[in-house]
Amino acid sequence: MAADNQAREVKFRRIAGDLRRAIRGGEYAPGDRIPGENALMAEYGVARMTARQALGVLVDEGLTEPRKGKGVFVRDVRPTVRRVVQRLSREQWGAGRSVWESETEGRDLVVD
């Protein structure tokens, strides 16, 4: 039983890794639909739960977002880059800019 669980874990993590690399490599752009459960089941020869777990990993990481009845789509992710030295520099604070403003480069704060 433990070996079965390990094999399933390895498979769903491998599938998630393949999709992650494809997203980061530009194969899937922000807003693109990634392969769904049925496509992953056929391509990798896995059970539905394994495909679902792989997709769940990407959702948990914030790379994708599920849309009910439509599939899983790549999010428009632009990571916040923290420039430690510059964020607390006199130029930032002297210009009246907040730490958040300097790191987000004018992006709006959206909470979901």
Q: Say yes or no: 100 and 52 in one domain.
A: no
Q: Using one digit for the tens of pLDDT, what is the confidence trace for 40-57?
A: 999 999 999 999 999 999
CB atoms under 10 Å from CB of 80, counted, come to: 9
Indicate the Cα dihedral angle 9, 66, 32, 82, nearest 10°. Answer: -80
Closest CA to 23 of 82, 93, 77, 87: 77
Q: pTM for this structure?
A: 0.64
Give residue 14's pLDDT: 94
Q: Say yes or no: 9 and 38 in one domain.
A: yes
Q: How many domains does the chain have?
A: 2
Q: Using one digit for the tens of pLDDT, what is the confidence trace for 7-37?
A: 555 899 999 999 999 999 999 999 999 999 9
Cβ neighbours of residue 58 under 8 Å, at least 6 residues apart? Answer: 16, 19, 20, 23, 34, 64, 72
Q: Say yes or no: 6 and 40 in one domain.
A: yes
- Parent domain of 100: 78-112
Q: Say yes or no: 82 and 67 in one domain.
A: no
Q: Say yes or no: 60 and 89 in one domain.
A: no
Q: Say yes or no: 50 and 94 in one domain.
A: no
Euclidean distance between CA atoms 33 and 72, whole angstroms:
6
Q: Is 80 within 8 Å of 108 (Cβ atoms)?
A: no
CATH number for 67: 1.10.10.10
Q: Say yes or no: 85 and 112 in one domain.
A: yes
Q: Say yes or no: 70 and 82 in one domain.
A: no
* Residue for token pair 């004018």: 106
